[in-house]
Amino acid sequence: MYPKPLKTIVVDDEKPSREALATYIRDFCPGVEIVAECDSVKSAFQAIQQFQPQLVFLDIEMPNGNGFDLLEMFKNPLFQVVFVTAFSEYAIRAFRFSATDYLLKPIKVDELIEAVDKVQRELADGAGNQNLVSLMEGFKNNGQNHSKLVVPCHKGFSVLKISDIVMCQADGYMTHFFLVGKTKVSSTKILKHYEEIFDYQLIRVHRSYMVNPEHVKGFTNYGEIQLVDQLICPLGDTYKPHFLAVLGKKV
């Protein structure tokens, strides 16, 4: 865990929401020190410059600008961000693609504690803010057509080009990504997490596998999918009709 109390700023234009979050933080997150509460992009920018926080709880929709306008004021943000939002599903999908922490309103205490714990671990491990970069890209294209995926690993994050992902394999509470060039990256998220955020880019072909259709070379009568780099994975009967439909073949 991060050895010192996290200097933290809470940004929300709605006073009841801001005060409720600040109260939860003070009551349930002893490793956090709130140094400012802000109700606008302008006041938040000034507070960040003044206090140099390690963590910012950031509402997205605010008058005279939004949370992303605030982030774009910093060329290289040195603070971690936990977004507080009542945003639509496309935004939540963007959060998941970027492995960025978010809290849905109304805030649940257990989710708040988990988010703070994660930030403390990342700071202790020296993790950077590449997840924020990926998130900003996602929102610029309205949460669609993501070209990158930020994968949380045991020590920080790995940023993967989705076009380089050949297949994903479930392994208990982990997911292994096999990339073009015989590279392997292991995530601390389960396969279902990725199934829920991928749309057409990767498809489920087995209870333990997802594949990128762009890297499929063929499949056999023995129920095996042949992929690039001599990778092979099973094709489950339940998933076979959808797999064949994606490849443009008839069952």
Render each residue's pLDDT in the chain as its tens digit; 251 residues.
Answer: 666 889 999 999 999 999 999 999 999 999 999 999 999 999 999 999 999 999 999 988 887 777 888 888 887 788 888 988 876 665 676 677 666 788 888 899 999 999 999 888 878 776 666 677 667 666 655 555 577 888 888 767 788 889 999 999 999 999 999 999 999 999 988 999 888 888 778 999 999 999 999 999 998 888 899 999 999 999 999 999 999 998 885 44
Residue 17 CB partners (closer than 8 Å, separation 6+): 59, 84, 105
Domains of the chain, residue spans = 6-140, 160-246
Tokens 């690039």 correspond to what residue?
228
Query: What's residue 151's pLDDT?
Result: 86
**For 57-112, what is each residue's pLDDT tens digit?**
998 888 777 788 888 888 778 888 898 887 666 567 667 766 678 888 889 999 99
**HSE toward the beta carbon, residue 29, CA cutoff 13 A:** 30
The three-state secondary structure class of 81 is strand
Tokens 């880019």 correspond to what residue?
201
Question: Virtual CA dihedral for 60, 149, 72, 45, nearest 10 degrees?
Answer: 50
Count the Cβ atoms, other than its own, within 10 Å of residue 76: 8
Q: What is the DSSP string of 200-214?
A: SSSEEEETTEEE-GG
The three-state secondary structure class of 73 is coil
Query: What's residue 149's pLDDT?
Result: 85
Tokens 């926080």 correspond to what residue?
53
Can you tell me the distance from the alpha carbon of 121 to that of 129, in angstroms, rounded to the nearest whole number?
A: 13
In this structure, which CATH number among 3.90.550.10, 3.40.50.2300, 3.40.50.1000, 3.90.940.20 belongs to the domain 6-140?
3.40.50.2300
CATH number corresponding to 160-246: 2.40.50.1020
Question: Virtual CA dihedral for 129, 115, 119, 23, nearest 10 degrees?
Answer: 110
- Strands 174-179 and 165-171 come out as antiparallel
Longest dimension (CA), the chain: 66
Say if residues 54 and 8 touch (Cβ distance below 8 Å): yes
Query: What's residue 157's pLDDT?
Result: 79
